[in-house]
Amino acid sequence: MPQCGMYLVRKRVWRYFNNVINFEIARPKEIYKTDQVMADRTPRVSLAMPVYNGERFVSEAIVSILSQTFSDFELIITDNCSTDSTGTIVRDFAARDPRVFYHRNQRNIGAANNYNLGFKLARGQYLKWCACDDLINPGHLAALVAALESDPSLGLAHGQTICIQADGRTIPMVGEEMPEITETDPAERFGKAVMSFGTCFQIFGLFRIDLLRRTTLHRPYYSSDEALLAEAALLSRFKRVPEAIFYNREHDHRSIHIDSKLARSSWQNGEASRKAASEHLNLLLHLYEIAGRHPEVVSPYRARLQLIRFVKRPEQLSRYALEILSFLSPTIAQQAKSAIKLRGSLKTG
């Protein structure tokens, strides 16, 4: 390709992605409407449950939270404009227990902003995100709070994961769980988190809210929870607490079963977006930003050296190439994806 042509391609790609890490996060007062008033007391723990059309499992999830032996918490449920009976179910719990606080967004703002909204409304010293289809054992919060209060160097305490199917029966682990991140060196912690991206069950652990205030939180591209965990790891240590059991429910309507990147971007962002659909490039740029955000903790150079280990993996390089190609020529990119899938099936066939 002539030099001027290469320049135009580079310019076009950069123009497309140069704002990819500057997603706008809506402010709480602009995106929800509620007639419920929060209680005056300040709880030690805030539980944030984002939900959209969760009528099938949300009652079980709420009951498992209200059954905790540790009771000094608030449960903030942010309803992303559900079209089923979710609102009716949650309002009933809120009417019976003052710890439950229900918000209904005026429009679907996407999963990322809905997760962040729970954080913005939280008043506790600690915060735990809760999925509307998962469960926790009765001693879950007590064990996690005890772990954080016994070790100030910990920023996140998370439970032991057990996977269950829709009817509650246990099944083998879905995916691979991230290992404990206990290293004292921030660059090593960041590298370990990045190199072990997987199911990200730790995102449903108990965070110090002051730690989360230092992060970029969730962003409107799918898998941004991986970046959030990587930034939390750079800033602090994690601990797995075996006494705290986290039951992750596997069922057909989970977001991980959405095949289309564009559809996943709609789930995460509130609307389909080609920019948000470039998941791997978004994650790369986000991690690069994170590696330079905390020079008082770790040298950006050392953190980015850890990131290079992740980026140079052949599977990662191919993902970046396909996403760039999808932007330049969606047809050719689709043909390339089909060829890769065919090659994989021939190898395993």
Which CATH number is 143's domain given?
3.90.550.10
As a whole number, mean pLDDT of residues 117-136 equals 98
**Enclosing domain of residue 301:** 3-21+279-348
Residue 209's pLDDT is 99
> In terms of domains, do 302 and 226 share one?
no
186 in the same domain as 253 = yes
With respect to residue 283, please indicate whether it lies within any of the assigned structural domains: yes
- If asked whether residues 294 and 165 sit together in one domain, one would say no
**What's this model's pTM, rounded to 2 decimal places?**
0.85
> Considering the domain boundaries, does residue 266 fall inside one?
no
| Domain finish residue from 257, 288, 314 | 257
196 compared with 287, residue with greater pLDDT? 287
27 compared with 134, residue with greater pLDDT: 134
| One domain for residues 15 and 81 | no
If asked whether residues 47 and 189 sit together in one domain, one would say yes
Q: Please, which residues have CB within 8 angstroms of residue 248's CB and are 6 or more apart in sequence?
A: 131, 134, 161, 162, 163, 164, 174, 199, 201, 204
pLDDT, average across residues 305-318: 95
pLDDT value of position 199: 82
Which of 224, 257, 290 is the C-terminal boundary of a domain?
A: 257
The amino acid that residue 240 corresponds to is: R
Token digits of residue 309: 């280990």
**Are the C-beta atoms of residues 171 and 161 closer than 8 Å to each other?**
no
Question: Do 11 and 84 fall into the same domain?
Answer: no
Mean pLDDT score across all residues of the chain: 85
Q: What is the pLDDT of residue 177?
A: 80
Q: Using DSSP bridges, classify how beta strands 126-129 and 45-51 pair: parallel, antiparallel or unpaired.
A: parallel
Q: Are 74 and 101 in contact (CB under 8 A)?
A: yes
Q: Is a pLDDT exceeding 60 seen at residue 346?
A: no
